[in-house]
Amino acid sequence: MNQFEQQRLDVNGMTLSVYSAGPESGRPVWLLHGFPECWYSWRSQMTALADAGYRVYAPEMRGYGDSSAPEEIEAYQILTLCADIQGAMDLLGHTDVCVIGHDWGAPVAWHLGLLEPERVRVLGAMSVPFGGRPKRPAIDIMREANAGRFNYIVYFQEPGVAEAELNADIERSMRLLIGGTGEVFLQPKPADARLLEGVPTPTTFPDWCNETDFAVYRDTLSKQGFRGPLNWYRNFRTNWESTEFLAGRQVLQPTVFLLGEDDPVGKLEAYTIKKMGELVPRLEQHVLKDCGHWIQNEQAERVNGILLEFLGRHYAA
């Protein structure tokens, strides 16, 4: 990891830890991680992009690692998360950037594209598509669609419950969340069940995450615990209310979307993915076979190739 530089930026009333790589003169590419990951999930992309001449920035998003992790739920609204990155870009003098997000980092990337059409020239998203602003809060739709059965996002809503379960044994929690194949999130069970209930703990690490890699994920989540990361899920209603001014807007930047063929999110968001081109007219989509949710690690070389080819056409180093 010594090829990566860490700096702590004071922005938006918080400390944002950012890892970077590549020549200082390179065009900036921001890589935004999801749940429950960390900057290190971009390690392969950071190296490949830096070698190609880009200056790459991978923040530890609010709630993670060495970045600030306020207790308040409302501190994790989508516009606040965007403002963290916007503040860092301002501080670093970035007026022309590419932003790429995975999982929860994808909604932040999508919104930055809407909020900053002049600064954000090129976009990338993995796993989570852009569906525009729904007619009512997504959490209401989820509650209705999953009445009487377990849904992990609904389970995450009650403050204190999910974090108590996940923080009780972070080693086991991360083995199940990172090392599993999606059954943790999608297994059928009663509505009052717990997330990790009934799922055996993996005894080996996946091919893309050896013991040393896993230690970075585990240690990062151990610094602050799961409270902050879970609070991202508790602002669906607030996010819906605060983004009314963005309703109906299209994402007009050149955009690449990557999805693992076996990613559970792809099944949950199949309709949105199918209709996404109507909202993102300059969209290119790639579905990677034999690949799950942790796409940039499971098929790092394939992802790197797609990103470098796409950026070469739309955002040359």
- The catalytic position among 33, 66, 102, 103 is 103
How many other CB atoms sit within 10 Å of the CB of residue 214? 17
Strands 14-21 and 5-11: antiparallel
Q: Are 244 and 116 in contact (CB under 8 A)?
A: no
- Annotated catalytic residue: which of 33, 94, 102, 293? 293
CA distance 165 to 45: 32
16 three-class SS: strand
Roughly what angle, to the nearest 10 degrees, separates helices 211-224 and 170-179?
A: 120
Helix/strand/coil (H/E/C) assignment for every residue in 203-215: CCCCCCCCHHHHH
Contact 58, 42 (CB under 8 A): yes
Residue at 283: amino acid letter = L
Residues 6+ apart with CB under 8 A from 145: 151
Question: CB of 53 within 8 A of CB of 129?
Answer: no
Q: Tokens 């970077």 sit at which residue?
A: 20
| Catalytic annotation present for 219 | no
Please compute Rg for the chain using Cα positions: 18
Distance CA 227, CA 110 (A): 24
Residues catalogued as catalytic: 103, 293
